[in-house]
């Protein structure tokens, strides 16, 4: 019984760790897609953010500067995305795909040119990373059965970005549904003409959304390289941007459900590590690949409308042209 509790706490703890980049990327995507800009490029922004953060942190020795660089890289990518899809009214999907390749190519190329370690950045330690924070009384309460243990293992002992990610969820919900900016953001994703008629700039709103997207996904990228790991390695986002996109669809573009779906996908990931090579009664050994594919399969089933219906914001993917 005692062991089962420890097991569950540990698996939930790694669920949280694995869910953080998903939550940040998913919320990031939520802002831009709610504003009518499809963001296939989340994966690339995540990767670019991770690389910039690790590179900056390795050079300057400061995790905070690394974080800023991560956000900066994501902003640059969002800028290109905005230029292509807002100003030049290009195809947002194509531009997102281009960004993903751009990040994959540039991070390895620049990493090799700058650090000569086969695309890896130098190992980071100490202040170059965001280290675990021990919440007040965590050590004292550690001996308290169950609740104390959960507090010590699951709630305390994460790095600052983890807490930021969880706080970002209610903040996003509040911004989106309780502020004037949120109302406009949702409107521009559903009916940009109405926004334009009301005398509000569609272009400005969409750029604002892209900026918020970049900040969040940049933090997510920094989490990967300077919080969760101690340095950047090739393609370290490993499809998380796409999973976040899937989670966004699964959550039907709402912040609360987005958190739950990301935690679920994070749990699947943690669970898959845990059960590798283990045999279960009745079903035998579950192939790792089956669990790896599960988030994608679930999203396909959802998209196909077999479990509820996911309807994207109406104007998403369509560049807005003001009538002359």
Helices (H) and strands (E) in the chain, counts: 13, 2
Report the alpha-carbon distance of residue 161 to residue 14 in Å, rounded.
Answer: 15
- The smaller minimum CB distance to another protein, of residues 157 and 239, is found at 239
- What CA–CA distance (Å, rounded) separates 94 from 79? 15
Dihedral sign for Cα atoms in the order 74, 179, 93, 162:
positive
Binding of another protein at residue 112 (CB under 8 A)? yes
When binding is defined by CB under 8 A, the residue of 139, 174, 305, 322 that contacts another protein is 305
Tell me the sheet residues that pair with 158.
Answer: 133
Residue 83 touches another protein, criterion: CB under 8 A? yes
Q: Which stretch binds another protein (CB under 8 A): 58-66, 223-231, 276-284, 290-298?
A: 290-298
Per CB under 8 A, does 182 bind another protein?
Answer: no
Rule CB under 8 A: is residue 297 a binding residue for another protein?
A: yes
Does 76 interact with another protein (rule: CB under 8 A)?
A: no
* 8 A C-beta contact, residue 161 and residue 22: no
113 contact partners, CB below 8 Å, separation of at least 6 = none
What is the rounded CA–CA span in Å between residue 120 and residue 137? Answer: 38
Report how far apart, in Å, the C-alpha atoms of 238 and of each of 17, 35, 83, 133 are: 15, 26, 26, 27
Nearest distance from residue 153's CB to another protein, in Å? 31
**Residue 264 contacts another protein per CB under 8 A:** no
> For residue 1, how many other CB atoms are within 10 A of its CB?
5
Q: Is 104 near another protein (CB under 8 A)?
A: yes
Shortest approach of another protein to residue 286 CB, angstroms? 11
Interaction between residue 249 and another protein (CB under 8 A): yes
209 binds another protein (CB under 8 A): no
Choice from 15, 78, 95, 159 touching another protein (CB under 8 A): 95
- Burial string for 239-269 (b: 16+ CB within 10 Å, else e) reads ebbbbbbbbbbbbebbbeebbebbbbbbbbb
101 vs 174 by CB, closer to another protein: 101
Q: Write down the least CB distance from residue 293 to another protein, Å.
A: 4
Q: Which residues bind another protein (CB under 8 A)?
A: 40, 80, 83-85, 88-95, 97-106, 108-110, 112-114, 119, 239, 242, 245-246, 249, 287, 289-290, 292-293, 296-297, 299-300, 303-305, 312
């Amino acid at each position: 019984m005692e062991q089962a509790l420890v097991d569950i706490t540990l698996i939930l703890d790694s669920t949280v760790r694995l869910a953080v980049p998903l939550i940040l990327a998913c919320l990031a995507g939520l802002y831009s897609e709610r504003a009518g800009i499809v963001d296939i490029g989340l994966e690339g922004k995540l990767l670019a953010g991770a690389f910039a953060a690790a590179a900056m942190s390795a050079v300057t020795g400061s995790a905070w500067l690394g974080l800023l660089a991560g956000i900066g890289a994501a902003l640059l990518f969002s800028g290109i995305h905005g230029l292509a899809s807002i100003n030049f009214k290009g195809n947002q999907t194509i531009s997102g795909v281009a960004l993903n390749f751009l990040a994959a190519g540039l991070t390895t190329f620049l990493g090799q040119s700058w650090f000569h370690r086969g695309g890896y950045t130098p190992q980071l330690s100490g202040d170059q990373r965001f280290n675990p924070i021990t919440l007040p009384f965590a050590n004292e309460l550690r001996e308290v059965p169950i609740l104390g243990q959960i507090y010590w293992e699951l709630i305390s002992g994460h790095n600052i970005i983890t807490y930021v990610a969880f706080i970002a969820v209610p903040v996003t919900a509040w911004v989106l549904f309780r502020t004037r900016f949120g109302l406009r953001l949702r409107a521009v994703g559903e009916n940009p003409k109405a926004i334009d008629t009301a005398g509000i700039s569609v272009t400005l709103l969409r750029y604002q959304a892209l900026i918020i997207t970049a900040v969040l996904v940049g933090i997510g990228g920094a989490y990967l390289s300077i919080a969760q790991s101690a340095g950047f390695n090739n393609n370290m986002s490993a499809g998380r941007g796409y999973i976040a996109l899937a989670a966004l669809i699964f959550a039907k573009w709402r912040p609360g459900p987005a958190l739950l779906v990301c935690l679920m996908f994070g749990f699947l990931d943690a669970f898959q590590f845990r059960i590798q090579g283990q045999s279960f009664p009745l079903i035998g050994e579950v192939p790792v690949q089956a669990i790896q594919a599960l988030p994608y399969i679930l999203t396909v089933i959802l998209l196909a409308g077999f479990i509820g219906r996911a309807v994207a914001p109406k104007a998403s993917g369509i560049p807005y042209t003001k009538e002359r």
